[in-house]
Amino acid sequence: GAGVSQSPSNKVTEKGKDVELRCDPISGHTALYWYRQRLGQGLEFLIYFQGNSAPDKSGLPSDRFSAERTGESVSTLTIQRTQQEDSAVYLCASSFDRGETQYFGPGTRLLVL
């Protein structure tokens, strides 16, 4: 079946602009996660959704970052007033339920100039 998809695959933006990153999880997966991978570093957790609610937002680095999930499906990660340090690959993962194996999308590579 179809895997996790993300769009856009690449995004170049100017400092101060807002960006929206989209994630389509595997159908039927109730849990959805966002991670960030900065160049040469490991993956950092951002936020976890169970259904449409986000019981764990502890990884969001600032109030410029927000995310929502609708219809227990698509999720959008929004970064307002982007900064150069936001440049990274943003990865989405989904799993059948919390604690089950997570399957990752290809990521969105964000470059803030």
Task: Report the interface residues with other proteins, using CB under 8 A.
Answer: 33, 35, 41-43, 45, 48, 55-56, 59, 91, 93, 98-99, 101-107
Residue 41 beta carbon to other proteins: minimum distance, rounded to whole angstroms: 7
Residue among 80 and 106 whose Cβ is closer to other proteins: 106
Residue among 40 and 71 whose Cβ is closer to other proteins: 40
> Which stretches does DSSP call E strand in the chain?
5-7, 10-13, 19-24, 31-37, 43-50, 53-56, 65-69, 75-79, 88-95, 103-104, 108-112
Three-state secondary-structure class, residue 84: helix
Residue 16 beta carbon to other proteins: minimum distance, rounded to whole angstroms: 29
Residue 83 beta carbon to other proteins: minimum distance, rounded to whole angstroms: 23
Amino acid, res. 99: G
- Between strands 5-7 and 53-56, the pairing is unpaired
Q: Are the C-beta atoms of residues 78 and 18 closer than 8 Å to each other?
A: yes
Residue among 82 and 95 whose Cβ is closer to other proteins: 95
How many whole angstroms separate alpha carbon 37 and alpha carbon 40? 8
Residue among 11 and 80 whose Cβ is closer to other proteins: 11
Residue 24 beta carbon to other proteins: minimum distance, rounded to whole angstroms: 14
